[in-house]
Amino acid sequence: MKKYDAIVIGAGHNGLCNAAYLAKAGLDVLVLERNPHIGGASVSRELYPGWTYTNCSYVCSLLRPEISRDLELARHGLQVVPYHGGVTFTQDGDHFGNYPDAERLYREMARHSRRDANAYERFEADVTKQTRLIRQFLLTTPPDPTSFKPRDLKGLLEMASAFTGMGEEGLLDTVRFWTMSIGDFLDEYFESDVIKAHLSGSGIIGTALGVYSPGTAYVLLHHYMGEVDGNVGAWGFARGGMGAVAEALASSFRAFGGEIVCDADVHRVIVERGRAAGVALADGTEHRAKLVVSNLDPKRTFLQCFDASDLPAPVVEQARNFKIRGSSGKLNIALDGLPTFKGLAPNSPLMLSDMHCTDSLERMERAYDDWKAGTWSKDPYVDTLIPTTVDPTMAPAGKHMMTVFVQYCPPALAEGPWTPQARDAFGQTVIDQIAEHSPNFKDLILDCEVRTPHELEDEVGLTEGNIFHGELTFDQLLFNRPFPGCAQYRGPLRGFYLCGSGTHPGGGVMAAPGANAAREILADLRRPDVTPPSYLND
């Protein structure tokens, strides 16, 4: 039987990125994907004839530019086109437009509160200081603070010097920022409900916490630390949907000689003499390799792909305790034309922006209350975009595709598991909310795919439907992600590694975990590091 150098379980973007770097380093790599298509949660699918749904992740910012350039993703077909701005519709028929132009934004904020418009400069500077701190650690392995290995000590020193480089005030702010709630944080700067609500969205996306839950300020940073072509904080559309990211990574991987097999459902990691030796598929097929890398989330990896007896008991326990609560749903909608929105001219720049309907922190928090009670938010927070206003490839000319990210949506309902009826009722709740601000929206709907955490787990494999492979709270970050002992991409067995978003620096289609894991694997194999260094963050 053929023995590969490495098997990567899961053809998500991190699995493919990891595989590409291993293949680039000369390893013989096999990627196994359970679904008939690659991409994991970075996927585009034609589920309605003529329309492409970017049906899990939907916008792109965090994808590390170093990786994108190094793996020549542009040559392999990836084009990320920036989109700008956002809008929150208010219940009184007005809106707040988060215009990309700083002065236009100032004027719009001043319309709601002149003081807030001024405070925004300070807010932006403070947030940017913190994102600058984190950005420099994205393409690095978190140092182990308990280790005395030279490279861990060096890593810790670098981290310490980055912290002290913030100055006294910056340092104190950092500790606050990493632990406080986005609601409290915004309350310190702003007075306008709608401005606070608009800015708070980034603090709870993908997170089973409310805007007043501690830890959500960091989640906002996570959404602000990306870039498009050097514009830090900017977001863009991958032309053709987020599947284009996975396709480009796959193409790059194949160009290095890699092999991808779909419809290959890994049932178990084969462990022999205390080390990973390959995988067994659900259909009984076995593949052998010198090392196995899991792109799956830590929970799924350790609790579903291993015999518990093959693992140290504490790891099983840590995996069980790992916080990976699902909180999000998704609607992908084929539209017969461009919907109109109350108060927005058809040529408004805000038609190209992310759209929201929640105009106060109180409504944001109430939406979370429903989740805690085991039901979807009856007044949900939506992050709605119409990529076809920028991307001509996703629907026939003149037609449109709308992606609606929804929070909150629980992994299971209080009364029991999700049913198709409940799923459709959830979808209807979301459609009704958007229709309040878009009179012709309902009439334009040709098709609507509704995805609850149940579908995200069932189809994509995200445990509980958590889009980040585990929550981005401080207890699960840096050298504690996913949990102590596994934070440097090495599993508890020799020859076994993690490369998914459950590892540092987390989810959001960054590809950084994949590259970081490859660096560790290559170091263990005593091969040259082929992953790219971080761009200078000065």
Partner 1 sequence: MTPHDNRMLLDTPFASRVQAACELREWEPWKGYASPIAYEDVELEYFAARNATGVFDLSPMTKYRIGGPDAEPYLNRLLTRDVRKIRPGRVGYTLWCNDAGMVLDDGTLFHLSQGDYRLCAQERCLDWLLTSALGLDVTIVDETAEVAALAVQGPTSCAALRAMGLEGLESLKPFGLRHYPFDGGELMVSRTGFTGDLGYEAWVAPAHAEALWDAMFAAGRNHLIRPMGNAALELARIEAGFIQAGVDFVPAEQVLRHGRARSPFELGLDWLVDFDKGHFTGRSALLREREQGSRFRFVRLDVEGNKPAPESFILNKRGKTVGHATSAAWCPSAKRNVALASLEMPWGRPEDELYAEIYYSRELRWTRIEARCRIIDGPIWDPPRRRQTPAPNF
Contacts with partner 1 by CB under 8 A lie at 94, 101, 103-104, 106-107, 110-112, 114-115, 117-119, 121-122, 125, 128-129, 132, 165-167, 169-170, 343, 345, 348
Nearer Cβ to partner 1, position 69 or 122?
A: 122
Q: Name the minimum Å distance from CB 115 to partner 1.
A: 5
How far lies 417's CA from each of 399, 422, 423, 454, in Å?
A: 35, 9, 10, 8
Secondary structure of the chain: what % helix, strand, coil (to 5)?
40, 20, 40
Nearer Cβ to partner 1, position 192 or 433?
A: 192
User: If you count them, how many residues does the chain have?
Assistant: 538
How far lies 380's CA from each of 18, 51, 87, 359, 532, in Å?
A: 36, 26, 16, 11, 40
The alpha carbon of residue 284 and the mean position of all alpha carbons in its chain are separated, in whole angstroms, by 33
- At residue 533, what is the residue type? P
Which 3 state secondary structure label does DSSP give 518?
helix
CA atoms within 13 A on the CB side of 310: 21
Three-state secondary structure readout of 290-330:
EEEEECCCHHHHHHHCCCHHHCCHHHHHHHHHCCCCCCEEE
Nearer Cβ to partner 1, position 233 or 485?
A: 233
Q: Name the minimum Å distance from CB 400 to partner 1.
A: 22
Q: Name the minimum Å distance from CB 134 to partner 1.
A: 14
Q: Name the minimum Å distance from CB 165 to partner 1.
A: 6
How far lies 303's CA from each of 173, 355, 396, in Å?
A: 38, 38, 44
Nearer Cβ to partner 1, position 122 or 494?
A: 122
Nearer Cβ to partner 1, position 87 or 276?
A: 87
Nearer Cβ to partner 1, position 165 or 484?
A: 165
Q: State the Cα–Cα distance between residues 19 and 8, nearest whole angstrom.
A: 7
How far lies 458's CA from each of 1, 40, 106, 375, 416, in Å?
A: 32, 12, 44, 19, 16
Structure tokens at 461: 């494999």
Nearer Cβ to partner 1, position 110 or 281?
A: 110
Which 3 state secondary structure label does DSSP give 240?
coil
Q: Which of 494, 491, 497 is nearest to 519 (CA)?
A: 497
Structure tokens at 341: 């929105």
Nearer Cβ to partner 1, position 99 or 137?
A: 99
> In the chain, what's the furthest Cα-to-Cα distance?
71
Q: Name the minimum Å distance from CB 180 to partner 1.
A: 20
CA torsion 222-249-268-505 (nearest 10°) is -20
Q: Name the minimum Å distance from CB 98 to partner 1.
A: 14
Q: Which of 329, 306, 332, 336 is nearest to 319 (CA)?
A: 306
How far lies 320's CA from each of 21, 301, 323, 455, in Å?
A: 30, 11, 8, 21
Q: Name the minimum Å distance from CB 504 to partner 1.
A: 24
Q: State the Cα–Cα distance between residues 135 and 65, nearest whole angstrom.
A: 12
Q: Name the minimum Å distance from CB 122 to partner 1.
A: 5
Nearer Cβ to partner 1, position 125 or 414?
A: 125
Cis peptide before 417 (omega within 30 of 0): no
Nearer Cβ to partner 1, position 113 or 147?
A: 113
Q: Name the minimum Å distance from CB 438 to partner 1.
A: 18
Q: Name the minimum Å distance from CB 390 to partner 1.
A: 19
Nearer Cβ to partner 1, position 126 or 184?
A: 126
Q: Name the minimum Å distance from CB 197 to partner 1.
A: 16
Q: Name the minimum Å distance from CB 323 to partner 1.
A: 32
Nearer Cβ to partner 1, position 117 or 394?
A: 117
Q: State the Cα–Cα distance between residues 33 and 9, nearest whole angstrom.
A: 7
